[in-house]
């Protein structure tokens, strides 16, 4: 009996198709980015990179990421802890609500924030009277980025913590450990890998977020342009090489993320085979 796809011809065909598609859709664009960025030679690449506005965009992107990742780490752990360790009315609803940022288009998210925090918005007007500006400034960018990336950590942790159960924590508390000790010495080591993985995903998305940020940033060159916005603006200015130079930075970050993810998975697989 031949299982489906077991015939050598079929197998070769399937592998061939997969390879061609991967090359066409994934590899080629990646190569194209670097080819375009380096079209004018390495000198022009450096010149584009050290452009005042590009440097500002890099700085802003770093700032946004540095704020978003830790905030969402804490928030994600808190949420996963709440959902998996306690039973309360509305627990299921909360679990569904976590997914809203994934379900909703980032542009819509941006618009909602604009509505809330804009100068004529519900909260924005009140904040404005204290001279606090959220929209068209970095706090707005951080806010929408947090919104868009907040499910990543919780989504990684919830299934894991559900599977692991609370027995070890219960054992720890019967041994007299305080809440903080239990978290630090029992819970954290168990979820370490998932947490790191969640952070990597959050980081990747925070760096690359375009839709929501473009709505709330207002595209003020050198002030509220993150790297993805900078790419778009340079391209609209017919500065193709400049656009691709910035894009190559994003691509490089993406590759680093993938490498980190692969390394983590490899380590997890190795630990499993040892245990």
Partner 1 sequence: MSIRISQIDKTYGHKGSGRTRALAPIDLDIRDGELIGLLGPSGSGKTTLLRIVAGLEQADGGTIHFGEREVTQVHVRERRIGFVFQHYALFRHMSVFENVAFGLRALPRRQRPSNGEIRTRVMQLLEMVRLAAFAERYPAQLSGGQQQRVALARALALKPDVLLLDEPFGALDAKVRQELRRWLRHLHEELGFTSLFVTHDQEEALELSDRVVVMSNGRVEQIATPDTLYREPANRFVFEFLGDVNRLEGDVAEGRLTCGNASVSVPGVEPGRRELLLRPHEVHLAERSIPAAHLPVTVASIVPVGAEVRLELEADWLEEPWLASVSHAEFERLGIARGRRLFALPSRLHGFDAAGAQNVALPVG
Shortest distance in whole angstroms from residue 270 CB to partner 1: 14
Name which of 85, 95, 86 is nearest 155 in CA terms.
95
What is the C-alpha to C-alpha distance for residues 107 and 99, in angstroms, rounded to an integer?
16
189 makes contact with partner 1 (CB under 8 A): yes
Using the rule CB under 8 A, give the single segment among 99-107, 180-188, 194-202, 212-220 that binds partner 1.
180-188
268 makes contact with partner 1 (CB under 8 A): no
Per-residue tokens: 53: 């506005």
Using the rule CB under 8 A, give the single segment among 33-41, 126-134, 169-177, 225-233 that binds partner 1.
169-177
Shortest distance in whole angstroms from residue 137 CB to partner 1: 44
**Which one, 186 or 249, has the nearer CB to partner 1?**
186
90 makes contact with partner 1 (CB under 8 A): no
Q: Contact at 8 Å (CB) between 113 and 217?
A: no
Per-residue tokens: 218: 């207002």
**Which one, 36 or 164, has the nearer CB to partner 1?**
164
Among residues 74, 175, 256, 259, the one that binds partner 1 under rule CB under 8 A: 175
User: Element (H or E) spanning 101, and its range?
Assistant: helix 100-103
Distances (CA, A) of 229 to 49, 89, 209: 15, 42, 9
What is the C-alpha to C-alpha distance for residues 48 and 235, in angstroms, rounded to an integer?
13
89 makes contact with partner 1 (CB under 8 A): yes
- 3-state secondary structure at position 29: helix
Using the rule CB under 8 A, give the single segment among 50-58, 121-129, 140-148, 173-181 that binds partner 1.
173-181
- Determine the number of helices (DSSP H) and then strands (DSSP E) in the chain: 16, 0
Among residues 71, 82, 173, 253, the one that binds partner 1 under rule CB under 8 A: 173
- 3-state secondary structure at position 104: coil
181 makes contact with partner 1 (CB under 8 A): yes
Among residues 6, 176, 238, 273, the one that binds partner 1 under rule CB under 8 A: 176
**Which one, 29 or 165, has the nearer CB to partner 1?**
165
**Which one, 160 or 219, has the nearer CB to partner 1?**
160
What lies within 8 Å, CB to CB, of 119 at 6+ separation is 125, 128, 135
Distances (CA, A) of 108 to 101, 181, 200: 10, 41, 25
162 makes contact with partner 1 (CB under 8 A): no
**Interacting residues with partner 1 between 103 and 142 (CB under 8 A):** none
273 makes contact with partner 1 (CB under 8 A): no
Exposed, middle or buried, 77 (CB in 10 Å: 0-12/13-18/19+)? buried
DSSP characters for 128-168?
HHTT---TTSHHHHHHHHHHHHTHHHHHHHHHHHHHH-SHH
Among residues 116, 177, 219, 254, the one that binds partner 1 under rule CB under 8 A: 177
Site residues, partner 1 (CB under 8 A): 89, 167-168, 170-178, 181, 185-186, 189-190, 275
């Amino acid at each position: 009996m031949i299982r489906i796809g077991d015939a050598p011809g079929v197998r070769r065909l399937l592998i061939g198709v997969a390879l061609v598609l991967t090359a066409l859709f994934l590899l080629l664009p990646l190569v194209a980015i670097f080819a375009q960025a380096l079209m004018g030679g390495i000198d022009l690449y450096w010149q584009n990179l050290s452009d005042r506005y590009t440097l500002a965009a890099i700085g802003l992107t770093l700032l946004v990421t540095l704020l978003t990742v830790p905030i969402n780490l804490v928030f994600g752990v808190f949420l996963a802890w709440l959902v998996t360790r306690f039973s309360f009315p509305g627990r299921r609803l909360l679990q569904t609500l976590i997914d809203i940022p994934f379900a909703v288009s980032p542009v819509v998210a941006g618009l909602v924030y604009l509505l809330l925090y804009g100068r004529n918005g519900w909260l924005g007007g009140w904040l404005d009277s204290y001279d606090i500006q959220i929209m068209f400034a970095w706090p707005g960018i951080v806010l929408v980025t947090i919104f868009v990336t907040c499910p990543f950590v919780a989504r990684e942790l919830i299934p894991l913590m559900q599977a692991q159960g609370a027995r070890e924590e219960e054992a720890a508390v019967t041994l007299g450990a305080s809440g903080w000790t239990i978290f630090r010495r029992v819970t954290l080591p168990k979820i370490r890998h998932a947490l790191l993985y969640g952070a990597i995903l959050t980081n990747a998305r925070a760096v690359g977020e375009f839709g929501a940020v473009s709505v709330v940033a207002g595209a003020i060159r050198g002030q509220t342009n993150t790297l993805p916005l900078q790419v778009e603006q340079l391209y609209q200015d017919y500065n193709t090489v400049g656009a691709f130079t910035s894009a190559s930075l994003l691509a490089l970050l993406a590759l680093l993320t993938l490498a980190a993810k692969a390394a983590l998975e490899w380590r997890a697989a190795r630990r499993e085979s040892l245990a």
